[in-house]
Amino acid sequence: MLLLLILLTGRIVNLSSALSRFSLPNRSTYGITKYGIQALSDCLRFEVKRWGIRVSIIEPGSLVSGKEKYLNVSKIM
């Protein structure tokens, strides 16, 4: 696999979340896993740079889905 990394250049893209930067109540497990992806990407970026491989993180923010229409948020919190 190392030979393959040396011969090829490219980009590794990891999908994280804006919640990796700050925490919200009742979202600790989600935030921890997204921060883990952030930390992995940061370390991996330094490790594969010498082979011309770049590492990027996509951190989408809040998005609106249709589930809010069907859930009563006041019952959950």
Q: Which residues are catalytic?
A: 30
Structure tokens at 51: 């082979």
Helix (H) or strand (E) holding 71: none
Contacts of 37 (CB under 8 A, 6+ apart): 14, 15, 16, 20, 57
